[in-house]
Structures are given as C-alpha cells and as structure tokens.
Amino acid sequence: MVPKRLLCISPGDLGAIDVLRADMPSWQVSTVRSIDEARSALRQDAYLVGLLMHVIGSQPHLEVERFLRQHSHIQWVGVFRAEAIGAPTWRDLVADYLCDYHTLPLDTRRLVHTLGHVHGHALLRRPRPRPGTSPSALIGSCDAMLRLRSQVERMAKVDAPVLIWGESGSGKELTAQAIHRQSLRSTGPMVPINCGAIAPNLIHSELFGYERGAFTGAARDKVGLIESANGGTLFLDEIGDLPKDLQANLLRFLQDRTIIRLGSTRAIPVDVRVISASHVNLQQAVARGDFREDLYYRLSVLPVTVPALRERRDDLVELAEHFFHLYSADKSPRLKGFSSKAVEAIAAHDWPGNVRELINRVRRAMVMADGRWIEPDDLDLVMPSPPIDAVLDDARCSSERLAIRACLDRTGQNVSRAARDLGVSRTTMYRLLAKHGMRG
Ligand SMILES: Nc1ncnc2c1ncn2[C@@H]1O[C@H](COP(=O)(O)OP(=O)(O)O)[C@@H](O)[C@H]1O
Ligand SMILES: [Mg+2]
C-alpha cells in the first residue's frame, strides 16, 4: 500500500506531533517549522493533506492566507485554541481554506480519524478528466447544438470535405476537431493551417514544402503542412483568405491528391481529409470573383454552420459554468460561482465575440472577483436595464412614497388629515401605507 503522506506545519512545540506520529503508523509525516519551509517541502514532494498545527491565529494572517490560496489543491486541517479564531478574518480564513479543524484539548484519536477521512476524500477529488469538462468537448444542449453534434457524428463517418461556416469564436475549429476525433483518421494527425495568418510570400512553401535549392536559403528539403497531415485531417482555417494563385494549387491537390514541392517535379501522393472553415460568406466571395467557384464546390461537399452564441442563449449558463470549472485552478478557493445578477448580465449580453469572448470574460472575472460570487462588474458587463414599464412603476412608487411621507410629516402623522390633503379616502390611505411599509 502507498503510504499516506502528511505535511505538518508546526511553528511551536513538537511534542504533540510526536504523540500524533505514534498514532499514525500508516502515515509518512513530514514536519516543517514555518510557512517558508512548507513552501520548499511542497516544491519537492506532493501532498494531498496538510496539517496546520497552531498556525491559525499565531502567524501573520496575510502570509497564511497567501500560502493557503497558493496551495488550495491540498486539503488542510487545522489545530488551534478556540480563542485563535476570535477575529473575523481568522474565522473567514478557516471557513474558506480549511476542510476541518480541531480545538484544544486535542483528542489525537479523533484527529487521526479526521486526517484519514480527509485523505480518502482527497483521493476521490483528485483531478481527472471528467466527461463534459474536457477542453475539447462541444458543450451545449440547446436544439442547435444537438443538431450540430449529430451532424458531426454523421460527417465523421465519411471522408468527404467539410466546410464549416460561423462567426469568429463560435467554435469552428472545435467542430473540426470533433469530426477528426470521431473519424477513422483520429489516430492520424490533425494539422490546422490558418490561411489568413501566414505571410503571403511564405504560404506556398508552408503548404507544399520545398526541395533543397528551390530558392536561396533552402538549405534542405522541407515537408509542407499538407504533406505532414498525411493519414489524418487537414484543417484549412479562414479559407476565404487564401490568395488566388494558391486556390488554383489547392484545387489541383484536391483533384489529384498529390502535391509537388517547390523546386521539384515529383508528385507525392498525400492521403488527407480536408475540413475548411470561414467566417466570411464564401458564396458572396465567389460572386465577387474573390474565390474560385470550382474550389468552393470541391470544399463544400458537406456544409455545416456553427450558430452564433447569441442564437443559443439557452446554453449561456451551461457554457459559463463549464469554463468556470475548466479554469478553476486559476480561481481563489473562496469563489463559488456566478451571482444571479451576473447570470442575468450574461443572458442579456449580445456576445459579438461568441464563445471566445465568454471564455475571456469568465477567466478575467475569476481573477478579478474579490467576493464569493462573480458579479457583472467582474465580467465587465453592465446589468441589463429593466423594461420601461418597470422603470415607470418604480418612479411612480417612489414619488407616491415621497408625497405620503411629506404629507404625514406636515400633518403631524395624522392619517385622516393626510388622507384629506392627498384627496384619497382613509381606506385608500391605509392601503397605501401598507403598500409602502409605512405607519401613520
Ligand atoms: N460549444 C463549445 N463548448 C465548449 N467550448 C467551446 C465551444 N465552442 C467554442 N468553444 C471554445 O471557444 C474557443 C473558440 O472556439 P474556436 O473553435 O477556436 O472558434 P472559431 O474557430 O470559430 O473562431 C475555443 O477555446 C473553443 O474551445
Ligand atoms: Mg478559429
């Protein structure tokens, strides 16, 4: 059996630790005297469980908090005198960072029991890829996403070219990855090429490779990206940005399934499946004469659209929570999730940058939030303005309240006179007082 390891930080007397050690034969206990020593111990070995022996309330609060925040993946148990958590800051720290604590007089048997329990729990909680939280899963359960996933499944079974259309950040590349992963080619590589990001003068040699001596500086043969995808999938991102002359070369490749490196005459057969993606409407580009029509038809045998995020609002919260968990290593342990106002703000935003924008806002909020809940501010989102009816109601209500308050003050809190001054019956006056939670 692997020994259970405990890191014990004990700035004071070590007597209690010796007693504890005797009661923990199946544990390997390492003791350090300070937080600094603990840091170096943690750099050398991994621990699931740590014990803070009289650290709470006796060491500088800020230092302890910083340390625990940095090592929040460890389950910490505290032992201290009950008075040590008299101050609210220490109480908060115990609530936020410790999974259990014991106060004096110390019952060693109970403490050993707690540590064993916490260790077992830590084993269960050890991070492992959970279904649904993998960075490459297509998350979402609205109709549009269900449709997309079933299209992905069907397209994965065949080898025809796929053309994915969608706004930037909507998940085109992720969709391409999903098709590749579910296809028979999944054991081969998926090679992404961003046609818009490679310098125009390099793109030919990048895609097709070159032979030694093809041009000055070509000291040795270079395999092009298309060739390197052999046996797998070639993902041509932003295909609309491909220069016209390369469109002709790509078309030739799609027809013969061979490439010719620059400076060579030898045709090399390459077996790849082509998936391309574009955020511009290629049909319009064809109509304008910017994109070859014959290439367009070659690439778009299986067209698929990834809907913009604002068209699948029902998935917003699920996605936001997914990224919250995915990036939870970056967050402070006291951060619990999204406040209801934040959820409202997320639902009301238009998400022009789609899922990528959502990821960026959530990650930023996880770093910036200083409360327990992410607020609209942390996401850099504004609260949606309430519908105009609600605004008017609100205004009506507060002027009503002001008028009643003023009238009551004027009449020395005499309800009957105030009612007369306001021109309402006494019954109405009492109803108004009740409505505004006022007393006459
Ligand atoms: N449905 C989804 N579920 C989970 N993550 C997603 C989803 N759609 C997009 N993403 C993530 O959003 C980011 C942008 O997606 P990406 O596929 O690169 O968009 P595009 O290629 O359309 O610009 C990536 O980090 C991707 O993993
Ligand atoms: Mg992309």
Which of 355, 359, 361 for a ligand 1 pocket mutation test, highest count of atoms within 8 Å of Cβ? Answer: 355
Looking from the CA of residue 315, the nearest atom of ligand 1 is 1
| Ligand in nearest proximity to the CA of 353 | 1
Q: How far is the CA of 379 from the centre of ligand 1 (A)?
A: 19
Contact status, residue 251 vs residue 259, Cβ threshold 8 Å: no
Q: How far is the CA of 434 from the centre of ligand 1 (A)?
A: 53
> CB within 6 Å of ligand 1 — which residues?
138-140, 166, 168-174, 355-356, 359
Across the chain, which has 440 residues, the per-10-residue mean pLDDT values are 85 87 91 93 86 94 89 89 93 91 93 93 65 71 94 95 97 97 92 89 90 86 93 95 91 94 92 96 94 97 97 94 87 86 94 97 92 93 71 77 85 87 85 80
The pLDDT tens digits of the residues spanning 218-242 come to: 888 899 999 999 999 999 999 999 9
Q: Which helix or strand (DSSP H or E) is residue 388 part of?
A: helix 388-410
Q: How far is the CA of 192 from the centre of ligand 2 (A)?
A: 10
Q: How far is CA 220 from CA 198, 214, 258, 335, in A?
A: 21, 9, 21, 54
> Domain 4-125 in CATH: superfamily?
Response regulator (3.40.50.2300)
Tokens describing residue 42 = 């943690």
The conformation of residue 309, written as its DSSP 8-state character, comes to G
Looking from the CA of residue 175, the nearest atom of ligand 1 is 17
Q: Whose CA is nearest to atom 8 of ligand 1?
A: 171
Q: Is the dihedral of CA 36, 42, 44, 49 positive or negative?
A: positive
CATH class of 309-374: mainly alpha
The pLDDT tens digits of the residues spanning 121-160 come to: 888 766 554 444 566 789 999 999 999 999 999 999 999 9
- CATH domain 388-435 topology: Arc Repressor Mutant, subunit A (1.10.10)
Neighbours of 143 (CB within 10 A): 11
Say if 4-125 and 309-374 have the same CATH topology.
Answer: no
Tokens describing residue 102 = 């014991």
Tokens describing residue 422 = 């306001």
The CA-CA-CA angle for residues 373, 379, 381, to 5°, reads 120
**CATH number assigned to the domain covering 146-305:** 3.40.50.300
Domain spans of the chain?
Answer: 4-125, 146-305, 309-374, 388-435
The C-alpha atoms of residue 379 and residue 353 are separated, in whole angstroms, by 14
Q: How far is the CA of 170 from the centre of ligand 2 (A)?
A: 8
